[in-house]
Amino acid sequence: MKHFRNYLVEQQKKSEGDASLEPAGPDENFVFIKKWVRTKHAILFRLSNQTIQIVFYDQSEILLTPDERYITYVDKQCNRRTWNFDDTLVGNNPEFAKRLRYTREIMSQLLTGNRK
């Protein structure tokens, strides 16, 4: 956890100057990492609020909400888009489709216990 905290502090300083990351008090709804897995192409995080976040090494991301209603994709240029699972997700975005397939494969492997 110290490793992740230090990484987040460094990233925050880079983006906001000299801001510091203060720990949340006991009364706040603090979201934290419960489990994480590093794969060949990404790091998967399961957060305490049941959100799944997949951070690819090219800095794109996929976020899956715990109620399985929404999926958010952040591309390499930090453009964020959120879809309802009822919507046509992929559309004309082959990069998103590729990452979504990879996410499905990794999640399936984790659920069945078959890691490559």
Which pLDDT does position 87 carry in this prediction?
61
pLDDT attached to residue 21: 47
On whether the pTM is more than 0.85, the answer is: no
Domain containing 21 equals 1-30
My answer on whether 56 and 88 are in the same domain is yes
Q: What is the pLDDT of residue 23?
A: 54
The beta strand positions in the chain, using DSSP E, are 33-38, 42-47, 52-56, 61-64, 70-74, 80-84
Considering the domain architecture, whether residues 10 and 56 belong to the same structural domain is answered as no
Whether the CA torsion 33, 43, 15, 20 is positive or negative: it is positive
Domain count, the chain: 2
Per-residue pLDDT tens listing for the chain (116 residues): 777 677 777 767 766 654 444 555 554 678 888 988 999 999 999 998 889 999 999 999 999 988 878 888 999 998 998 888 766 655 667 888 889 889 889 888 888 876 55
Residue with tokens 């720990």: 23
Same domain assignment for residues 72 and 95 = yes
Which pLDDT value is given to residue 60? 93
Residue 7 sits in the same domain as residue 60: no
Burial profile 23-59: b = 16 or more Cβ within 10 angstroms, e = fewer: eeeeeeeeeeeeeeeebeebebbbbeeebbbbbbeee
Local structure of 40: helix, strand or coil: coil
